[in-house]
Amino acid sequence: MVPNSSDYFERGGTMSRLFTYVITHDGGFAPNPFFGVLTLNCCKPMIRRAAEVGDWVAGFTAADFPAGRGLLVYAMRVTSKMTMSEYDLWTRQNLPEKIPGRGDYSRRAGDGMYDFETDPPTRRRGSFHGPEDMRADLSGRYTLLSREFYYFGGSPVEVPGRLRSVVHTGRAHKWRENSPHVQEFETWIREFDPGLSGIPHQASQFVTIGRR
């Protein structure tokens, strides 16, 4: 099981934050929406360090996406945060399907690609990221996990006009500018059914849609 966390996170009297960014590769790896828990263990190191339990993270399409820029690929409410080392141990003990392995696409897209049983950690075979990505991945230090997520993948959705200002179209990410819209974003995204609603745009084979 994913470690327990509060249903609502409040920090210094302020509401949860909304981190938004552009997804350049939607392959079901970062984020990984499979097996009932959406995880962000690679890429976006600054978000992984900064986001806390109760915050939202949302990724939008890039300009080269067939349907256009600025569509919502996924949104997650962070329900647990752990170090990458803790995540490696947790996956081995609780959800080994997140570790890259043979089988269908969801197994091969596993984001538990770093083995922390060695010091320094090593890459597992069959991982989507190569040696050139290791430094950036490990600099994130933390893994974000969500039991409340909305993943649309290759069938992204358009946010309503009143929320267009939260869409990020540049590099890095933003959250301060999104502060006035967090509650409205929460209300809107919860109109959708949570879980896996679409397959990754860049999946190399058919992926069965379901909670697990």
Q: Among 1-15, 26-40, 49-63, 91-105, whose mean pLDDT is lowest?
A: 1-15
- Residue at 76 is within a domain: yes
| DSSP run (H or E) holding 85 | helix 84-94
**In b/e form, how buried is each residue of 37-49, taking b as 16+ CB within 10 angstroms?**
bbbbbbbbbebbe
* 44: nearest Cα among 111, 96, 123, 125: 111
pLDDT beyond 90 at 52: yes
- Residue at 1 is within a domain: no
- Domain range enclosing 109: 18-196
- Residue at 5 is within a domain: no
* Amino acid present at 67: A
* Amino acid present at 26: D
Report the pLDDT value the prediction gives residue 125, as an integer from 0 to 100. Answer: 79
Cβ pair 16, 79 in contact under 8 A = no
**What letter would DSSP give residue 177?**
G
- Residue at 11 is within a domain: no
Rounded to a whole number of angstroms, the distance between the first and last alpha carbons of the chain is 13
pLDDT beyond 50 at 8: no
Count how many domains the chain has.
1
* pTM score over 0.75: yes
Cβ pair 29, 111 in contact under 8 A = yes
> Which residues on adjacent β-strands are paired with residue 146?
38
pLDDT beyond 70 at 9: no
- Residue at 6 is within a domain: no
Cβ pair 204, 101 in contact under 8 A = no
- Residue at 10 is within a domain: no
| pLDDT grade for 201, boundaries at 50, 70 and 90 | confident
- Residue at 175 is within a domain: yes
Residue keyed to tokens 């609780």: 94
- Residue at 26 is within a domain: yes
pLDDT beyond 70 at 212: no
pLDDT beyond 80 at 171: yes
